[in-house]
Structure 1
Amino acid sequence: MASSTGISLKFSPLSTPFKQNQVPRICNVNSVRFPSLRMQPGSSRLRVSCAAKPETLEKVCGIVRKQLALPEDSSVSGESKFAALGADSLDTVEIVMGLEEEFGISVEEDSAQHIATVQDAADLIEKLVEQKSA
């Protein structure tokens, strides 16, 4: 069991050892407890995200800044929503095209419609890059 800041996760031992340079992944989580988690009043959702690599998120932030002509010092993070950054539907299409070109991937239209934040885009890119290399 691993514990950090009131978060505890239970892990089962793997039957097969990892190969050198292989990154372990959690596939089946049966139980996650958050005993010290304090929700904000009126909040009813908890978002758990398997965040993309920091370098992927950084590249996505740069592409978003470039496509939206935002200053380099503008605050763009994983939580940034495209709409809040001033992006309309055409801007979003151009951002997706920029991401496809930068990462050598193809984003399906139905997947692109579910991208609302920079983190959503970075997570989708990680998934598509992984599928492409498999």
Structure 2
Amino acid sequence: MAAFTGASSTTLISPPHISRQCLVEVASTRISGLKMVSFSNSGRSNLPVSFRRLQISCAAKPETVEKVCDIVKKQLALKDDVSVAGDSKFATLGADSLDTVEIVMALEEAFGITVEEESAQSIATVQDAADLIEKLCEKDSA
């Protein structure tokens, strides 16, 4: 059985054909403010593939991703023919650690947010940045 806690509710999930005795090693880690939950049953292989790994994610709004792409292109002085998308990694686009700091500063200014150093270190892609921005904007408006 696993619990997923949202902003206003908690949902319990337990696959009906798996006994409680063999289910319940749940490992979770944080990914962009969301939890990734993995199910295992101490090495037994009777869990269906769909329940061995369950990932829940929520992507940022397309307009947020687009704005982040524009800021990244501007900060890195990329040519118009260079494609920047949500899955673009800063390092692949040629950004070093100083460039990444400057990108984060530009994002803070553009979105009116403050990014903590720990959070900034977890940003590797445009999507990571967009997800963090939406999380911080949601937190600020609450």
* 1:104 maps to amino acid: G
Deviation at 1:99, TM superposition (A): 0.1
Identity of paired residues, percent? 71
CA distance in 2, matches of 1:106, 1:66: 20
CA distance in 1, matches of 2:138, 2:69: 20
CA distance in 2, matches of 1:56, 1:50: 13
Deviation at 1:31, TM superposition (A): 4.3
State how 1:1-80 maps to structure 2 within 5 Å. Answer: 27-31=9-13, 48-80=56-88
Larger Rg: 2
Comparing both chains, which one has the higher relative contact order based on Cα–Cα distances under 8 Å and sequence gaps of 6 or more? Answer: 1
* 1:70 maps to amino acid: L
Query: TM-score under structure 1 normalisation?
Result: 0.67
SS in 1 for 2:94: coil
Corresponding residue for 1:114? Answer: 122
RMSD value, Cα: 2.8
Q: 1:105 aligns with which of 98, 105, 113?
A: 113
Q: Which 5+ residue runs of structure 2 have no aligned equivalent?
A: 1-6, 16-47
Query: TM-score under structure 2 normalisation?
Result: 0.63
Q: Which has the higher strand share?
A: 2
Offset from partner CA, 1:75-129 (integer Å, 9 cap, x none): 1111111111110000000000000000000000010000011100000000000
Deviation at 1:48, TM superposition (A): 4.5
Where in structure 1 do 4 or more consecutive aligned residues deviate above 6 Å? none
Q: Which 5+ residue runs of structure 1 have no aligned equivalent?
A: 1-24, 38-44
